[in-house]
Structure 1
């Protein structure tokens, strides 16, 4: 068993330094910082060795670990610990005489304690979503000026945070320009190209190849559940709005619906979380010469590795008639699905964008739809849309929140 070695920091101005570092069996290092409320930081020795910051082990300019696991960090233990109070560093000598130095601020950011882990996941990884229902919609609705988003990083950050937290936002005063959706996507980073192109038009079309190109009601849905890498956000710019009574947007927070189902109907929630559904899209778009046959098999409710809501799949028009599950699971699924859609409808809000509005929403979370409308010879409803993946959005948001992360 590894013997414990204690080191109390050297004297500062005649008083003993407050930080105590010690190695503990089996295989941990503990740092007690009295000047930080006597908090105790605790790290596995193997993690410290794996993350050695010396030039032999770490390439600073690329922020990349270059030590080789084959050197055997699993079996190399701490030989000596020293806390350097002047430099605020932990100094480690290993049994193979390798030397490692760790800045205390760096260590605190990587504390294994619950508070530090929660802070990292919520402030750096992803802002936690704020779920909302129908009565909450007025308070959740965020509006931004289109030009401000294009020109001001502070506004861009606020807009992206609204998409991450509330799940949607509306931009006002966009010009009468078919490139608005593209410009917003490129302001974030990179547009997502799909079988419908890098931008797409939503308007009534003869011989429509997609249900959205009809003037009939569009039921609550998410776009492209038939993609493994489903589009992250949908950017919809209203160029021309219908003057008929219809053409209004409908919207429901799918995560909120899933949470309500989990609370009140846990068995149905488990069915929709576990039973895979076949989602499909077959055809071609407009004059495109390349047909497509897209398929993806996934449940309605998808969770991430932490058990949090990650993705809602719902699109009645794109749900395959092939249901490749055992017969008894199919029956249970329909009962659970009916409850999910009933809840979604009961929490749906309705609003109508006007020309110059850009409606942007989280396509992994929000169920959206449209009421029926009628085109007239001088008034044909016309929207232009684009997609951006959440990997790109979160990356952009972090560069805005932490501009000195690479320093």
Structure 2
């Protein structure tokens, strides 16, 4: 007698009319049902991803084969679709046998819809660009304790950082370890030449421009790092009682998009001309000296042509501009347009004690208005960094806790 579960599986198998066939040159096609777009796979891909115990180590999710040259010339001898088990079964010319679950194949469909779904839902959520007029609509606030204690709130916060590029946590305790605790809630803190955590406050003989009370221009942190810090966590312990000390913020990806739309020639200059970013000095408890340099354009794209990283920090742009002479003047003109757009789209807000302002350091230009410390009221922020590799990994484990591969 069939149980309910077995009956459902039996009916599904009966309903499925999938067929498989070999296509020339070098493809295998699975037609699930009439009217549906067939699934199509290269033969070489199927052999490369054979799931049998001889080829694949399931516990480590890794191939076992030593593919120095690869099975490029091994062709399919026969294919069949097993309706009972809903598997594509392949016999190769060398008599090797492979089988693939239809659900597994469907998730790896080479069609545009499946590829885009994986890239947007699993790889990285697409960024939502915003300008000054959209700021209040995209601004999201979370409770600090909720994010620390609840995985659902942690996931929502990380998604906001990935999509909108920033978020504000409210209600953090008067504790110097808040930024560190948030970083460790995600995974691992990023240690830099400024230590595990860093303090932003006016300091005598300041070794960094951020430690002055003067206005801090729109910038990204650490453009002089090849592996630039992913997010910046800034916890306001004490806010200045003066009228200054407000945060400024601009979506750098949105500025780059506007440059591409309005000034395509200048956009291309900022995308292609490398700039020397540098940092020389010493910081941290050990006061270790550092001399960091990285050459990279203002606007960086990923392999798909999407915005991946913005580099902008006037205080950390080297006077050595190691490009051909004729590129320099054109770059300055393009750079001026970029900054004009960035300032026109900047928003201003002031965090209070207990607020944690967190933003995507690869994307957001941030700054600060001038302020003046008063006796007994010294503006004091504590910061930490986390890399996006760690953030995306955490986000995927929250979204797909049962993922196998």
TM tier, smaller: over 0.9
Given the alignment of the two structures, is residue 235 of structure 1 paired with residue 229 of structure 2, yes or no? no
- Which position in structure 2 is the counterpart of 1:7? none
Distance of 2:61 and 2:269 partners within structure 1: 43
1:34 maps to 33
Match of 1:219 in 2: 217
The aligned counterpart of 2:322 is 324
C-alpha displacement of 1:20: 1.6
SS at match of 2:38: strand
Matched with 1:123 is 121
TM-score norm. by structure 1 comes to 0.95
Q: Is the 8 A contact 1:234 1:362 kept in 2?
A: yes
* Paired position in structure 2 for 1:335: 333
Output the CA distance in 2 between the equivalents of 1:175 and 1:270.
Answer: 46
Q: 1: CA distance between counterparts of 2:301 and 2:17?
A: 44
* Structure 1 residues 83 and 240, CA gap change in structure 2 (3 angstroms): same
Deviation at residue 13 of structure 1 after TM alignment: 11
**Residues 291-326 of structure 1: per-residue CA shift (max 9 Å, x gap):** 000000000000001100000000000000000001
What is the 5 A alignment of 1:103-142? 103-142=101-140
Per-residue CA shift, 1:344-403, capped at 9, x if unaligned? 000000000000000000000000000000001110000000000000000000000000
Mapping of residues 3-402 of structure 1, within 5 Å:
18-34=17-33, 37-70=35-68, 72-285=70-283, 287-402=285-400
Deviations 1:22-57 (A, max 9, x none): 10111000111117x522110000000000000000
Q: What corresponds to 1:406 in structure 2? A: 404
**Structure 1 residue 288 displacement after superposition:** 2.9
Match of 1:284, SS? strand
Change (3 A) 1:262 1:13: closer
1: CA distance, partners of 2:13 / 2:143: 59
- Per the TM alignment, residue 14 of structure 1 is displaced from its structure 2 partner at its CA by 12
Q: Distance in 2 between matches of 1:218 and 1:335?
A: 22
CA distance in 2, matches of 1:172, 1:356: 6
CA 1:229–1:70: 2 relative to 1, 3 Å = closer
The alpha-carbon deviation at position 18 of structure 1 amounts to 1.6
Counterpart CA distance in 2 for 1:287 and 1:217 is: 26
TM-score of the superposition, structure 2-length normalised?
A: 0.96
Describe the shift of the 1:15–1:389 C-alpha distance in structure 2 as closer, same or farther (beyond 3 A). closer
Cα deviation digits, residues 126-145 of structure 1 (max 9, x gap): 00000000000000000000
The whole-number CA distance in structure 1 between the counterparts of 2:358 and 2:277 is 24
Cα distance in 2, alignment partners of residues 388 and 14 from structure 1: 48
Q: Is the 8 A contact 1:150 1:156 kept in 2?
A: yes
| Separation (CA, whole Å) in 2 of partners of 1:214 and 1:372 | 9
Retained in 2: the 8 A contact 1:222–1:313?
Answer: yes
State the aligned residue count.
Answer: 396
C-alpha change, 1:90 and 1:324, in structure 2 (3 Å) is same
Partner secondary structure for residue 390 of structure 2: helix
Residue pair 1:302, 1:311 contacting (<8 A) in 2 also: yes
- Do the aligned residues in 1 keep the contact of 2:16 with 2:32 (CA within 8 Å)? no
SS of 1:227 mapped into structure 2: coil
Aligned residues of 1:209 and 1:286 also touching (Cα < 8 A): no
CA distance in 2, matches of 1:239, 1:85: 64
Match of 2:6 in 1: none
* 1:327, distance to aligned residue in structure 2 (A): 1.1
